[in-house]
Protein backbone atom coordinates (compact mmCIF):
# COMPACT_ATOMS: atom_id res chain seq x y z
CA UNK A 1 0.00 0.00 0.00
CA UNK A 2 2.80 2.40 0.88
CA UNK A 3 4.11 2.30 -2.71
CA UNK A 4 0.69 3.27 -4.07
CA UNK A 5 0.63 6.50 -2.08
CA UNK A 6 -0.80 9.38 -4.10
CA UNK A 7 -1.04 13.13 -3.65
CA UNK A 8 -4.63 12.64 -2.43
CA UNK A 9 -3.29 10.50 0.44
CA UNK A 10 -0.72 12.99 1.60
CA UNK A 11 -2.82 14.82 4.23
CA UNK A 12 -3.91 11.49 5.76
CA UNK A 13 -0.29 10.33 5.86
CA UNK A 14 0.86 13.60 7.41
CA UNK A 15 -1.83 13.35 10.10
CA UNK A 16 -0.89 9.74 10.90
CA UNK A 17 2.80 10.69 11.05
CA UNK A 18 2.03 13.54 13.46
CA UNK A 19 -0.12 11.20 15.55
CA UNK A 20 2.65 8.58 15.65
CA UNK A 21 5.05 11.16 17.09
CA UNK A 22 2.75 13.09 19.43
CA UNK A 23 0.60 10.22 20.78
CA UNK A 24 3.67 8.11 21.56
CA UNK A 25 5.80 10.90 23.01
CA UNK A 26 3.21 12.89 24.98
CA UNK A 27 0.29 10.47 25.31
CA UNK A 28 -3.05 10.24 23.53
CA UNK A 29 -5.24 12.17 25.95
CA UNK A 30 -2.61 14.88 26.43
CA UNK A 31 -2.49 15.56 22.68
CA UNK A 32 -5.18 17.89 21.38
CA UNK A 33 -6.54 18.11 17.85
CA UNK A 34 -5.10 21.63 17.59
CA UNK A 35 -1.58 20.36 18.19
CA UNK A 36 -2.07 17.49 15.74
CA UNK A 37 -3.21 19.67 12.85
CA UNK A 38 -0.39 22.14 13.53
CA UNK A 39 2.31 19.46 13.40
CA UNK A 40 0.67 17.75 10.40
CA UNK A 41 0.29 21.05 8.57
CA UNK A 42 -3.38 20.48 7.75
CA UNK A 43 -6.63 22.21 8.68
CA UNK A 44 -9.07 20.80 11.23
CA UNK A 45 -11.55 20.44 8.37
CA UNK A 46 -9.09 18.22 6.51
CA UNK A 47 -8.50 16.11 9.59
CA UNK A 48 -12.22 15.52 10.07
CA UNK A 49 -12.58 14.70 6.35
CA UNK A 50 -10.05 11.90 6.87
CA UNK A 51 -11.16 10.75 10.33
CA UNK A 52 -14.70 10.96 11.67
CA UNK A 53 -13.48 11.61 15.22
CA UNK A 54 -10.37 11.60 17.39
CA UNK A 55 -11.32 8.05 18.44
CA UNK A 56 -11.19 6.95 14.80
CA UNK A 57 -7.81 8.64 14.36
CA UNK A 58 -6.53 6.85 17.46
CA UNK A 59 -7.69 3.49 16.09
CA UNK A 60 -5.97 4.24 12.75
CA UNK A 61 -2.79 5.31 14.60
CA UNK A 62 -2.78 2.02 16.52
CA UNK A 63 -3.43 -0.04 13.39
CA UNK A 64 -0.56 1.74 11.66
CA UNK A 65 1.71 1.24 14.67
CA UNK A 66 1.25 -2.55 14.45
CA UNK A 67 2.51 -2.47 10.83
CA UNK A 68 5.19 0.18 11.18
CA UNK A 69 8.22 -2.04 11.68
CA UNK A 70 9.26 0.39 14.44
CA UNK A 71 8.11 -1.85 17.27
CA UNK A 72 10.62 -4.02 19.09
CA UNK A 73 8.67 -7.03 17.80
CA UNK A 74 10.38 -6.65 14.40
CA UNK A 75 13.22 -8.51 16.10
CA UNK A 76 11.13 -11.66 15.69
CA UNK A 77 11.58 -11.43 11.90
CA UNK A 78 15.29 -10.66 11.56
CA UNK A 79 16.37 -12.90 8.67
CA UNK A 80 19.99 -13.12 9.78
CA UNK A 81 19.04 -14.72 13.12
CA UNK A 82 17.99 -18.24 14.03
CA UNK A 83 14.58 -18.66 15.71
CA UNK A 84 16.33 -19.13 19.05
CA UNK A 85 18.33 -15.93 18.54
CA UNK A 86 15.16 -14.05 17.59
CA UNK A 87 13.52 -15.02 20.89
CA UNK A 88 16.60 -13.83 22.80
CA UNK A 89 16.81 -10.64 20.70
CA UNK A 90 13.42 -9.50 22.02
CA UNK A 91 15.24 -8.74 25.27
CA UNK A 92 18.16 -6.79 23.79
CA UNK A 93 18.36 -3.19 25.08
CA UNK A 94 15.73 -0.94 23.46
CA UNK A 95 16.63 2.27 21.58
CA UNK A 96 16.96 5.59 23.48
CA UNK A 97 13.60 6.81 22.17
CA UNK A 98 11.79 3.82 23.71
CA UNK A 99 8.92 4.74 26.02
CA UNK A 100 7.10 1.42 26.37
CA UNK A 101 4.89 -0.42 23.88
CA UNK A 102 2.60 2.09 22.11
CA UNK A 103 -0.21 -0.47 22.06
CA UNK A 104 0.03 -1.13 25.79
CA UNK A 105 0.36 2.58 26.55
CA UNK A 106 -2.86 3.20 24.61
CA UNK A 107 -4.62 0.44 26.58
CA UNK A 108 -3.83 2.37 29.77
CA UNK A 109 -5.30 5.56 28.34
CA UNK A 110 -8.35 4.25 26.45
CA UNK A 111 -10.58 3.41 29.38
CA UNK A 112 -13.91 3.62 27.55
CA UNK A 113 -15.11 0.04 26.93
CA UNK A 114 -16.37 0.73 23.40
CA UNK A 115 -13.35 2.69 22.13
CA UNK A 116 -12.48 1.47 18.58
CA UNK A 117 -8.78 1.32 19.50
CA UNK A 118 -9.27 -1.39 22.11
CA UNK A 119 -9.94 -4.19 19.58
CA UNK A 120 -6.75 -3.23 17.71
CA UNK A 121 -4.70 -3.52 20.90
CA UNK A 122 -6.14 -6.87 21.99
CA UNK A 123 -5.74 -8.36 18.49
CA UNK A 124 -2.14 -7.13 18.33
CA UNK A 125 -1.19 -8.58 21.73
CA UNK A 126 -2.77 -11.95 20.90
CA UNK A 127 -1.02 -12.04 17.54
CA UNK A 128 2.29 -11.11 19.20
CA UNK A 129 2.00 -14.15 21.44
CA UNK A 130 1.28 -16.33 18.39
CA UNK A 131 4.35 -14.95 16.64
CA UNK A 132 6.53 -15.75 19.66
CA UNK A 133 5.00 -19.23 19.71
CA UNK A 134 5.79 -19.68 16.00
CA UNK A 135 9.46 -18.85 16.63
CA UNK A 136 9.46 -21.17 19.64
CA UNK A 137 8.10 -23.97 17.44
CA UNK A 138 10.69 -23.25 14.73
CA UNK A 139 13.40 -23.37 17.41
CA UNK A 140 12.25 -26.84 18.41
CA UNK A 141 10.59 -26.03 21.75
CA UNK A 142 9.02 -29.01 23.47
CA UNK A 143 5.93 -26.93 24.32
CA UNK A 144 5.92 -23.88 22.00
CA UNK A 145 2.60 -22.53 23.34
CA UNK A 146 3.92 -22.53 26.91
CA UNK A 147 7.15 -20.83 25.83
CA UNK A 148 5.12 -18.29 23.83
CA UNK A 149 3.00 -17.42 26.88
CA UNK A 150 6.02 -17.17 29.19
CA UNK A 151 8.11 -14.98 26.91
CA UNK A 152 5.13 -12.77 26.02
CA UNK A 153 4.32 -11.91 29.63
CA UNK A 154 8.00 -11.42 30.42
CA UNK A 155 8.45 -9.12 27.42
CA UNK A 156 5.39 -7.12 28.54
CA UNK A 157 7.08 -6.83 31.93
CA UNK A 158 10.33 -5.52 30.47
CA UNK A 159 8.59 -2.94 28.29
CA UNK A 160 6.20 -1.79 31.06
CA UNK A 161 8.89 -1.63 33.74
CA UNK A 162 11.01 0.50 31.40
CA UNK A 163 8.27 3.13 31.62
CA UNK A 164 7.59 2.69 35.35
CA UNK A 165 11.26 2.94 36.33
CA UNK A 166 11.98 5.56 33.67
CA UNK A 167 15.00 3.34 32.96
CA UNK A 168 14.98 1.25 29.79
CA UNK A 169 18.22 -0.54 30.46
CA UNK A 170 17.44 -1.60 34.05
CA UNK A 171 14.09 -3.12 33.05
CA UNK A 172 15.54 -5.12 30.17
CA UNK A 173 18.58 -6.09 32.27
CA UNK A 174 16.13 -7.53 34.84
CA UNK A 175 14.22 -9.53 32.24
CA UNK A 176 17.09 -10.82 30.09
CA UNK A 177 18.61 -13.43 32.44
CA UNK A 178 15.17 -14.91 33.11
CA UNK A 179 14.32 -14.92 29.39
CA UNK A 180 17.60 -16.69 28.69
CA UNK A 181 16.95 -19.28 31.39
CA UNK A 182 13.38 -19.88 30.17
CA UNK A 183 14.57 -20.31 26.57
CA UNK A 184 17.47 -22.60 27.53
CA UNK A 185 15.17 -24.77 29.61
CA UNK A 186 12.52 -25.05 26.89
CA UNK A 187 14.73 -25.72 23.87
CA UNK A 188 16.84 -28.77 23.03
CA UNK A 189 20.51 -28.12 23.91
CA UNK A 190 21.60 -28.50 20.29
CA UNK A 191 18.95 -25.95 19.13
CA UNK B 1 -2.22 9.82 60.49
CA UNK B 2 -5.62 8.43 59.51
CA UNK B 3 -6.72 8.31 63.14
CA UNK B 4 -5.84 11.97 63.65
CA UNK B 5 -8.15 13.13 60.87
CA UNK B 6 -9.99 16.31 61.78
CA UNK B 7 -12.85 18.27 60.25
CA UNK B 8 -10.28 20.59 58.67
CA UNK B 9 -8.83 17.62 56.77
CA UNK B 10 -12.15 16.45 55.38
CA UNK B 11 -12.10 18.37 52.07
CA UNK B 12 -8.55 17.17 51.36
CA UNK B 13 -9.59 13.58 52.09
CA UNK B 14 -12.65 13.87 49.91
CA UNK B 15 -10.56 15.23 47.03
CA UNK B 16 -8.02 12.41 47.39
CA UNK B 17 -10.81 9.83 47.52
CA UNK B 18 -12.38 11.25 44.35
CA UNK B 19 -8.94 11.27 42.68
CA UNK B 20 -8.33 7.65 43.70
CA UNK B 21 -11.55 6.59 41.99
CA UNK B 22 -11.51 8.80 38.90
CA UNK B 23 -7.78 8.75 38.09
CA UNK B 24 -7.64 4.96 38.36
CA UNK B 25 -10.87 4.24 36.53
CA UNK B 26 -10.78 6.84 33.75
CA UNK B 27 -7.14 7.92 33.67
CA UNK B 28 -5.36 11.02 34.93
CA UNK B 29 -5.38 13.14 31.78
CA UNK B 30 -8.99 12.22 30.98
CA UNK B 31 -10.16 13.47 34.39
CA UNK B 32 -10.80 17.20 34.60
CA UNK B 33 -10.73 19.38 37.69
CA UNK B 34 -14.47 20.05 37.19
CA UNK B 35 -15.29 16.35 37.48
CA UNK B 36 -13.01 15.98 40.51
CA UNK B 37 -14.60 18.80 42.49
CA UNK B 38 -18.08 17.55 41.60
CA UNK B 39 -17.38 14.01 42.84
CA UNK B 40 -15.51 15.30 45.91
CA UNK B 41 -18.29 17.78 46.72
CA UNK B 42 -15.91 20.72 47.11
CA UNK B 43 -15.39 23.99 45.27
CA UNK B 44 -12.52 24.59 42.86
CA UNK B 45 -11.28 27.22 45.31
CA UNK B 46 -11.09 24.60 48.06
CA UNK B 47 -9.23 22.22 45.78
CA UNK B 48 -6.62 24.84 44.95
CA UNK B 49 -6.31 25.73 48.63
CA UNK B 50 -5.32 22.11 49.28
CA UNK B 51 -3.25 21.50 46.14
CA UNK B 52 -1.26 24.16 44.29
CA UNK B 53 -1.94 22.51 40.93
CA UNK B 54 -3.34 19.36 39.32
CA UNK B 55 0.26 18.07 39.14
CA UNK B 56 0.55 18.40 42.92
CA UNK B 57 -2.78 16.60 43.38
CA UNK B 58 -1.56 13.80 41.09
CA UNK B 59 1.64 13.44 43.13
CA UNK B 60 -0.42 13.30 46.36
CA UNK B 61 -2.78 10.73 44.78
CA UNK B 62 0.20 8.55 43.85
CA UNK B 63 1.79 8.88 47.28
CA UNK B 64 -1.51 7.91 48.88
CA UNK B 65 -1.90 4.96 46.48
CA UNK B 66 1.42 3.50 47.64
CA UNK B 67 0.11 3.48 51.23
CA UNK B 68 -3.49 2.51 50.60
CA UNK B 69 -3.27 -1.23 51.17
CA UNK B 70 -5.42 -1.62 48.06
CA UNK B 71 -2.55 -2.55 45.78
CA UNK B 72 -1.87 -6.20 45.00
CA UNK B 73 1.48 -5.77 46.75
CA UNK B 74 -0.29 -6.08 50.12
CA UNK B 75 -0.06 -9.80 49.42
CA UNK B 76 3.63 -9.55 50.36
CA UNK B 77 2.64 -8.78 53.96
CA UNK B 78 -0.09 -11.34 54.63
CA UNK B 79 0.72 -12.58 58.16
CA UNK B 80 -0.93 -15.98 57.69
CA UNK B 81 1.40 -16.89 54.80
CA UNK B 82 5.01 -18.04 54.73
CA UNK B 83 7.48 -15.91 52.74
CA UNK B 84 7.39 -18.50 49.93
CA UNK B 85 3.59 -18.40 49.86
CA UNK B 86 3.65 -14.58 49.78
CA UNK B 87 5.83 -14.62 46.67
CA UNK B 88 3.42 -17.05 44.98
CA UNK B 89 0.39 -15.05 46.16
CA UNK B 90 1.52 -12.05 44.09
CA UNK B 91 0.36 -14.03 41.06
CA UNK B 92 -3.08 -15.02 42.38
CA UNK B 93 -5.95 -13.73 40.21
CA UNK B 94 -6.60 -9.99 40.75
CA UNK B 95 -10.00 -8.61 41.83
CA UNK B 96 -12.63 -7.70 39.18
CA UNK B 97 -11.96 -3.98 39.61
CA UNK B 98 -8.30 -4.43 38.68
CA UNK B 99 -7.12 -2.24 35.80
CA UNK B 100 -3.35 -2.52 36.12
CA UNK B 101 -0.97 -0.97 38.64
CA UNK B 102 -2.01 2.65 39.31
CA UNK B 103 1.64 3.67 39.63
CA UNK B 104 2.60 2.15 36.29
CA UNK B 105 -0.52 3.54 34.62
CA UNK B 106 0.47 7.01 35.82
CA UNK B 107 3.99 6.53 34.44
CA UNK B 108 2.45 5.99 30.99
CA UNK B 109 0.43 9.20 31.30
CA UNK B 110 2.91 11.55 32.98
CA UNK B 111 5.28 12.16 30.10
CA UNK B 112 6.67 15.50 31.29
CA UNK B 113 10.17 14.84 32.65
CA UNK B 114 9.77 17.17 35.66
CA UNK B 115 6.31 16.04 36.78
CA UNK B 116 6.31 15.66 40.61
CA UNK B 117 4.53 12.29 40.32
CA UNK B 118 7.42 10.62 38.49
CA UNK B 119 9.69 10.45 41.54
CA UNK B 120 6.87 8.83 43.55
CA UNK B 121 6.44 6.13 40.90
CA UNK B 122 10.15 5.33 40.55
CA UNK B 123 10.63 5.19 44.34
CA UNK B 124 7.62 2.90 44.68
CA UNK B 125 8.78 0.48 41.97
CA UNK B 126 12.29 0.30 43.43
CA UNK B 127 10.91 -0.28 46.91
CA UNK B 128 8.57 -2.98 45.56
CA UNK B 129 11.56 -4.87 44.21
CA UNK B 130 13.30 -4.55 47.59
CA UNK B 131 10.21 -5.92 49.34
CA UNK B 132 10.11 -8.92 47.00
CA UNK B 133 13.82 -9.43 47.65
CA UNK B 134 13.20 -9.30 51.43
CA UNK B 135 10.60 -12.07 51.15
CA UNK B 136 12.93 -14.06 48.88
CA UNK B 137 15.65 -13.75 51.54
CA UNK B 138 13.24 -14.78 54.31
CA UNK B 139 12.23 -17.79 52.19
CA UNK B 140 15.86 -18.86 52.01
CA UNK B 141 16.61 -18.00 48.38
CA UNK B 142 20.19 -18.67 47.31
CA UNK B 143 20.31 -15.31 45.48
CA UNK B 144 17.46 -13.16 46.86
CA UNK B 145 18.37 -10.12 44.74
CA UNK B 146 18.17 -12.15 41.54
CA UNK B 147 14.84 -13.65 42.58
CA UNK B 148 13.58 -10.17 43.50
CA UNK B 149 14.51 -8.81 40.06
CA UNK B 150 12.96 -11.77 38.25
CA UNK B 151 9.66 -11.76 40.13
CA UNK B 152 9.36 -7.97 39.95
CA UNK B 153 9.64 -7.84 36.16
CA UNK B 154 7.32 -10.83 35.81
CA UNK B 155 4.74 -9.22 38.11
CA UNK B 156 4.96 -6.02 36.06
CA UNK B 157 4.29 -8.17 33.01
CA UNK B 158 1.18 -9.78 34.53
CA UNK B 159 -0.29 -6.45 35.65
CA UNK B 160 0.51 -4.65 32.36
CA UNK B 161 -0.73 -7.51 30.15
CA UNK B 162 -3.99 -7.54 32.12
CA UNK B 163 -4.60 -4.02 30.80
CA UNK B 164 -3.32 -4.69 27.27
CA UNK B 165 -5.42 -7.84 26.80
CA UNK B 166 -8.35 -6.40 28.75
CA UNK B 167 -8.30 -9.80 30.45
CA UNK B 168 -7.05 -9.99 34.03
CA UNK B 169 -7.25 -13.73 34.35
CA UNK B 170 -5.45 -14.59 31.09
CA UNK B 171 -2.50 -12.35 31.97
CA UNK B 172 -2.07 -13.78 35.47
CA UNK B 173 -2.65 -17.32 34.17
CA UNK B 174 0.26 -16.74 31.75
CA UNK B 175 2.58 -15.47 34.48
CA UNK B 176 1.74 -17.91 37.29
CA UNK B 177 3.39 -21.10 35.97
CA UNK B 178 6.60 -19.20 35.24
CA UNK B 179 6.53 -17.52 38.66
CA UNK B 180 6.07 -20.91 40.29
CA UNK B 181 8.96 -22.41 38.31
CA UNK B 182 11.23 -19.45 39.11
CA UNK B 183 10.41 -19.67 42.84
CA UNK B 184 10.82 -23.46 42.96
CA UNK B 185 14.17 -23.24 41.23
CA UNK B 186 15.47 -20.47 43.51
CA UNK B 187 14.36 -21.80 46.88
CA UNK B 188 15.57 -24.84 48.82
CA UNK B 189 13.14 -27.74 48.38
CA UNK B 190 12.35 -27.85 52.10
CA UNK B 191 11.53 -24.08 52.19
φ, ψ (nearest 5 deg) of residue A80: -80, -5
- The CATH code for residues B71-186 is 1.10.357.10
Q: B1-51: what fold?
A: Arc Repressor Mutant, subunit A (1.10.10)
Phi, psi of B34 (to 5 degrees): -60, -40
CA dist., res. B162 & res. B94, Å (int): 9
Q: How many CA atoms lie within 13 A of A88 on its CB side?
A: 15
Nearest alpha carbon to residue A145 among B173, B89, B83: B173
Q: Compute the mean pLDDT over every residue in chain A, rounded to the nearest whole number.
A: 93
Average pLDDT score over residue span B37-56: 96
Counts of helices then strands in chain B (DSSP H, E): 9, 0
Please count the other Cβ atoms lying within 10 Å of the Cβ belonging to residue A116.
18
As annotated, the residues of chain A forming the CATH 1.10.357.10 domain(s) are 72-186
Instruction: List, for residues A89-142, the tens digit of each pLDDT value.
Output: 999 999 999 999 999 999 999 999 899 999 999 999 999 999 999 999 999 999
Tell which residue, B13, B48, B43, B19, has the closest CA to residue B31: B19
**How far from chain centre, in Å, is Cα A78?**
16
Are B122 and A156 an interchain contact pair (Cβ–Cβ within 8 Å)? no
Residues in chain A: 191
Task: Calculate mean pLDDT across residues B72-90.
Answer: 96
CATH 1.10.357.10 in chain B, residue ranges: 71-186
CA angle B99, B101, B104 (to 5 degrees): 120
- Give the pLDDT of residue A35: 97
What's the rounded Cα separation, in Å, for the pair A14 and A36?
10
d(CA B161, CA B76): 21
Q: State the pLDDT confidence band at A189, using cuts at 50, 70 and 90.
A: confident
Task: Enumerate the CATH 1.10.10.60 domain ranges in chain B, comma separated.
Answer: 1-51
Minimal CA–CA distance to B56: which of B25, B16, B2?
B16
Angle value at C-alpha A20, between B158 and A164, nearest 5 degrees: 30
The predicted model scores a pTM of: 0.94
Instruction: Measure Cα distances from B85 to A4, A93, B77, B137, B175 in Å.
Output: 58, 33, 10, 13, 16
ipTM of the complex in this document? 0.93
Could you give the CA distance from residue A111 to residue A92 in angstroms, rounded to a whole number? 31
Q: Which of B111, B150, B164 sits opposite A26 (nearest CB)?
A: B111
Do B164 and A103 make contact, defined as CB atoms within 8 angstroms? yes
Taking a contact as any Cβ pair under 8 Å apart, which residues of chain A between 141 and 180 contact chain B? 146, 149-150, 152-161, 163-167, 171, 174-175, 177-178
pLDDT at A70 over 70: yes
Spell out the CATH class of A72-186: mainly alpha
Cα B13 from Cα A175, distance rounded (Å): 39
Contacts of B123 in chain A (CB under 8 A): none
CA distance, residue B33 to nearest chain A CA (Å):
15
Confidence bin at A8 (pLDDT 50/70/90): low
Confidence class for position A1, pLDDT limits 50, 70, 90: very low
Say whether B151 sits in a helix, a strand or coil: helix
The gap between the terminal CA atoms of chain A, to the nearest Å, is 37
What digits encode the pLDDT tens for the residues B158-179? 999 999 999 999 999 999 999 9
Instruction: Specify the DSSP class assigned to residue A180.
Output: H
Amino acid sequence: MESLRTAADAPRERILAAAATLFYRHGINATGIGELVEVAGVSKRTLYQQFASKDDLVAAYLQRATQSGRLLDRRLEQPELTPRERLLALFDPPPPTFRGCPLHNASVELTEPGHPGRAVIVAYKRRFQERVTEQARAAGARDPEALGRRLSVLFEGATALATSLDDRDAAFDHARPLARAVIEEALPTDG
